[in-house]
Structure 1
Amino acid sequence: MLRPTLCFITALFVFENATMSSANEVKHVSANGTELAYVEVGQGEPVIFLHGGLQDYRMWLAHLSKFADRYRAIAYSRRNNFPNEVSSDGMPDGAADAHGEDLAALLRALGLSKVRVVAHSSGAHAALFFAAKYPEMVVSLALNEPPAAGILIGIPDAAEILKAWGAAIVPAREALKAGDAKAGIPLFVNTVGGPGTYARRSDADKRMNLDNVASYQADAMMKRPRPVFTCDMAKAIKAPTLLSNGERSPKFFHRIVDELEVCLPNRERVVIDGSSHTVPSENPDAYDHAVLAFFAKN
């Protein structure tokens, strides 16, 4: 007969392995005229995870088990990202309004009426559009550095930040527009994360970046202007919202979150030490702890 301690350890081992096995089972659902890939673990209240640019559902795999004992944790790949159908003529990564509509359609397809959302970068931008249009579907939000630059338009002290950011990102956009992923991906990663960020990424992360270059190439070639996320839209989001920044993130992202903090009526803010833009990957323990603590009280 197993001792109680051994029984607990055995049960924990079985749970963790079952969790990771489930997280590696990629499912597919039709939503908004396209097929979206997703993985899920756990049971209970649903939490949806949205990735950023040059990423897909895999960026969240190491996080899901931390949520699975309390929540049904679902990470999906946004339209035009691996392993979905991809094309440089497809949906741009920065089409936050359209990705927000896809999120609403995904939830309906999964039979979910109300969810919590954890989102990074351009995924967080999409989550803002989603939450503003469908506030009845949101319990709470955790948003890491959305590039919602539209919220800075017309703010005098932000004009130089927008100008500087636009100039900084041009080399990456031009390289990717020309089809030079070998040069463009490191340029993009080092612009949003700081010099040397790409070199520090794992081989798996670099592979993921390459697998998802099409949506950012579509971004670089996009000519049609998209709707911008405004302060008035933010004011429509009543759900509790956790805003996060990386300690070393570019000023561009901090300034956007400054304005979101002003405009969102029910928000908290945290700065995660030892990280730049990709906070969930650079300091995952601190990030997950902050999000779980926030969800526990909201």
Structure 2
Amino acid sequence: MVFRLNCWSSVMHFGIKGPLAGVALAVGLSSPVMADNVKELRAADTKFAYVEAGKGDPIVLVHGGLQDYRFWNGHLPVLSRNHRVIAYSRRNHFPNATSKDGLPDAAADVHGEDLAAILAELGIKRAHIVAHSAGAHAALFFASNHPEMVITLVVNEPAAAGLLAGMPGSAELLKEWGARFASTQEAFRKGDIDAGLRLFAEAVGGPGTYDRRSDADRKMMSDNAASAVADAISSRPRPVFTCEMAKRISAPTLLMNGERSPEFFHRIVDQLEKCLPERRRITIPDASHTVPGENAPAFDEAVIAFVTSH
């Protein structure tokens, strides 16, 4: 079943009887989330930057492509009211060491193992995992390989294209998606970062998406361009997440789409809905692919409702 949420809806199906007070907190890099309190840990032979807030069962936030821990700044004050919330920057993302010769953003298998190593370093045996886009793809690998470490899993539009293999109509869809990103990849390969960032944003969000982003969001994209360049020039095979892998995920999972997101992401979530043993699905209105940034109140409401119901 697919549920739809708006900003101030009552999410009765999650057991919460009304809107979450104060949830309409603006998302942005200027949010008062202790920018000066960035911490660092070493896991999997790599240094990772992270921030944390609150106390209670841990919620770990995993950002998408051209993002870092700052993507979650506006969400931490809301999500940390009753939980310990940790947002980290994935390998080859700001302010960690970055290089165009480093790990590609799409290396979801490695990013998933990094997440396991980070939790182990923090002494966290089990956590709620909330993840977006390329980070959600990594979270799927993590949850499949380490199901015992996941209390609940929330994934917004993972880039798990492997799930579409062999599905009716998927060849045409994948061809269209590849064509949509061809100019983006070419710009990054040539080192035309400004063009690549604009083309990337509009490929996932539609025309005008880049211009609607705040100056801070565009700076965050620029700070993380190395991982996108690495994607464009890397010869590393892209990892394939399959339905059989999804079946190993035992934790309750919330699947999320943006109302205006490209069909590519809706079809991937269609397949996850068929494969995951225990899942719910919602569609967030007034949002395209970057749901946490485009409709933060509805996103936070859905996450809190789902996490607190398990």
- TM-score class, shorter: over 0.9
Aligned match of 1:48: 60
Deviation at 1:20, TM superposition (A): 3.8
Instruction: Tell me the equivalent position of 1:258.
Output: 270
Match for residue 241 of structure 1? 253
Task: Quote the Cα distance in structure 1 between the aligned partners of 2:273 and 2:79.
Answer: 26
How far is 1:21 from its partner? 5.4
Q: Tell me the percent identity.
A: 59
TM-score by length of 2: 0.89
Match of 2:106 in 1: 94
Judging by fraction of residues, say which structure has more helix: 1
The 5 A counterparts of 1:63-74 are: 63-74=75-86
Match of residue 290, structure 1, among 298, 302, 307: 302
Q: 2:126 corresponds to which residue? A: 114
Query: How far apart in 2 are the matches of 1:65 and 1:24?
Result: 16
SS in 2 for 1:182: helix
Measure the CA separation in 2 of the matches of 1:84 and 1:23. 15
SS for the counterpart of 1:274 is coil
Question: Alignment partner of 1:83: what SS?
Answer: coil
Residue number among 121, 127, 149 corresponding to 1:137 in the alignment: 149
CA distance in 2, matches of 1:284, 1:36: 25
Deviation at 1:154, TM superposition (A): 1.2
2:278 is aligned with 1:272: no
Change (3 A) 1:118 1:23: farther
* CA displacement 1:166-211 (0-9 Å, x = unmatched): 1110100110111101111000000000000000000000000000
Q: Secondary structure at the match of 2:195?
A: helix
- Which residue number in structure 1 is paired with residue 42 of structure 2? 30
Q: Following TM superposition, by how much is the alpha carbon of 1:147 offset from its aligned partner in structure 2, in angstroms?
A: 0.5
Larger radius of gyration: 1
3-state SS, counterpart of residue 37 of structure 1: strand
84, 87, 93: which one aligns with 1:75: 87
SS at match of 1:277: coil
Structure 2 unmatched ranges of 5 or more = 1-30
- Code of the residue aligned with 2:303 in structure 1: it is V
AA aligned to 1:260 is L
Could you say what secondary structure the match of 1:84 adopts?
coil
What is the distance in 1 between the residues matched to 2:155 and 2:218?
Answer: 23
One-letter amino acid of the structure 2 residue matched with residue 183 of structure 1: A
Selected match of 1:146 from 151, 158, 166: 158
How far apart, in 2, do the equivalents of 1:76 and 1:114 lie? 16
Structure 1 residue 226, shift from structure 2 partner: 2.9
Shift of 1:23: 5.8
Measure, in 2, the Cα distance between the counterparts of 1:191 and 1:78: 22
- Aligned pairs, how many? 280
What residue number does 2:181 align with? 169
- Give me the whole-angstrom Cα distance separating, in 2, the residues matched to 1:235 and 1:216: 30
Q: Distance in 1 between matches of 2:45 and 2:133?
A: 24
Q: Distance in 2 between matches of 1:24 and 1:201?
A: 24
The 2-side partners of 1:81 and 1:218 are apart by 11
- Give the Cα separation in 1 of the matches to 2:240 and 2:246: 11
Provide Cα deviations, 1:112-168, integer angstroms capped at 9, x if missing partner.
Answer: 110000100000000000000000000001100001000111112222111100111
Q: Which amino acid aligns with 1:232?
A: E
Aligned to 1:178: 190
Which AA in structure 2 matches 1:239? A
Structure 1 counterpart SS, 2:73 = helix
User: Could you tell me whether the CA contact under 8 Å between 1:23 and 1:41 is conserved in 2?
Assistant: no
Greater relative contact order (Cα < 8 A, sep 6+): 2
Give the drift of 1:22: 4.1
State the Cα deviation string for residues 210-236 of structure 1 (Å, max 9, x = none). Answer: 000000100011112133000000000
What code does the residue aligned with 2:219 have?
A: R
The AA in structure 2 aligned to 1:133 is N
